Structure 1
């Protein structure tokens, strides 16, 4: 038995040990199965002797994008953006004209901030040569929006509830005269502030500051001290007339003839563990009647 016969029992075909065991005749397609034999263009019109390599057999095969009609499109190279070296950022990226404008704006903000801090410092500092010579300029800058005081850190802070109240003599549309009850203006401001996360400065301080101004320019008998006493009376009177007009105290068609202000002062109760004693009854300071000018009586105050 020759060598060819010894291998007759071996499997034939692509899975065999020696590959195909027959040769192809002329015009017959040749079967391929060897790992080293190139693939033939199967299913194409290429001649039998041509060699075709599949796209999947290429080591780094990429498909070209096709155009709208299915034709191969031009392949665009993909470039990664390179980082910019020496690029200017922030203000340096602006043109010189805008750089000058930004520098001027920053300079103005810095100057205003320094002036404000200096004014606040002089306002809360003890009396000195600068505050004596320029006290009015400092007060004009601070009041009324930036007022500062030391009551929070005082050893004995304010422990009183002060309420400004007012009543009025009115002249009705039918000619009748009457006197209203007491309007608690401080309570009205408190109700307007309660629940408001951003109350206005007027709601918080207008009425309180008006009475403080009056009390500082009058003696205990409500007599004015100096030229500012009369001004403080007019200021407080105009505020209470505006409030009464807002509350329609004179009624429909009525006018205000006179107004009277009183201040109710009640001590804040001390804690239980404190041995301090305070008066339990409130104290009242009643101011004299003020005649309302005709222009103010009909809502002329604005």
Structure 2
């Protein structure tokens, strides 16, 4: 009588039927996988990084990286031209470089100066108001004092409260002579910056009329000597008063009602 093995009936060890178990392996053989319609050697590995994104997202990522790289290159070029000695490019495009750098990216080394500032400087402003009955001039208001109140007791004061007015005033002084005449390309830009800061601060107050003109001054006081020092220092204030400036639409905060009326 013939055995099952001789007849090739499935289920025997070492048979050639695809559902059988490979000899000496104890597991599913290669022939079993092939019989199931799968081939492990052709399964692709998952892609990482941008290659793993779909084509539209790859395009978006490539464009974003290109824009970031371009902005970084422009920033490095502008900073280099700003700190570099005077050359042909800075003479022709100095105003564009200054507009890019100031005031956010200014390179300032006063932190490392051997002789730090020994004066307290406060910026004041007053305005000429057109009321319902007549024109009047407001008292001097200390813009620096308002910044000081906002900083005291504040654990996390903003950069605007600490540096906007101070750096803007330094910017103006560095670009004007003692007669308030601009001494370079930065003069007009620094004046526009101060005027906008002042109007932004004045817009927070209600004076009962329209602001026609503004006048800015600085009050400088020397820091008093410490009690243990024999040095005699006068702390009497000295003032630098700027001329009256007529308010224009360019000086007003964007979006304010007065700005819209001036534009119309």
Q: TM-score, normalised by structure 2?
A: 0.58
Structure 2 residues not aligned, in runs of 5+: 1-42
2:94 is the alignment partner of 1:153 = no
Pair 107,246 (structure 1): closer, same or farther in 2 beyond 3 Å: closer
2:61 is the alignment partner of 1:102 = yes
Name whichever structure is richer in helix by fraction. 2
On the 8 A contact 1:124/1:149 being kept in 2, the answer is no
3-state DSSP class of the match of 2:51?
helix
What CA deviation, in whole Å up to 9, does each residue of 1:245-299 have, x standing for no partner?
4222x3x3x4445543221112344667888764322221123344557999997
- Find the aligned partners of 1:294 and 1:242 in 2 and give their Cα distance: 12
Q: Which moved more, 1:151-160 or 1:93-102?
A: 93-102
2:143 is the alignment partner of 1:185 = yes
Structure 1 residues not aligned, in runs of 5+: 1-83
Q: Please provide the CA RMSD for this pair.
A: 4.4
Q: TM-score, normalised by structure 1?
A: 0.52
2:67 is the alignment partner of 1:112 = no
**Aligned-residue offset at 1:165:** 0.7
On the 8 A contact 2:78/2:101 being kept in 1, the answer is yes
On the 8 A contact 2:98/2:186 being kept in 1, the answer is no
What CA deviation, in whole Å up to 9, does each residue of 1:78-116 have, x standing for no partner?
xxxxxx994433333334554454344334433432432
Pair 131,115 (structure 1): closer, same or farther in 2 beyond 3 Å: same
Please give the residue correspondences for 1:22-37 in structure 2 after superposition, counting only pairs within 5 Å. Answer: none
**Aligned-residue offset at 1:183:** 0.6
Question: Rg larger in 1 or in 2?
Answer: 1
2:119 is the alignment partner of 1:164 = no
Corresponding residue number in structure 2 for 1:240: 198
3-state DSSP class of the match of 2:202?
helix
Corresponding residue number in structure 2 for 1:262: 217
3-state DSSP class of the match of 2:258?
coil
Please give the residue correspondences for 1:1-302 in structure 2 after superposition, counting only pairs within 5 Å. Answer: 86-96=45-55, 98-128=57-87, 130-173=89-132, 175=133, 178-194=136-152, 195=154, 197=156, 199=158, 201=160, 203-216=161-174, 218-222=176-180, 236-237=194-195, 239-248=197-206, 250=207, 252=208, 254-256=209-211, 258-269=213-224, 278-290=233-245, 300-301=258-259
Q: Which has the higher contact order (CA 8 A, sep 6+)?
A: 2
- Find the aligned partners of 1:269 and 1:143 in 2 and give their Cα distance: 33
Aligned positions, number: 214
Pair 114,162 (structure 1): closer, same or farther in 2 beyond 3 Å: same
Corresponding residue number in structure 1 for 2:37: none
3-state DSSP class of the match of 2:219?
strand
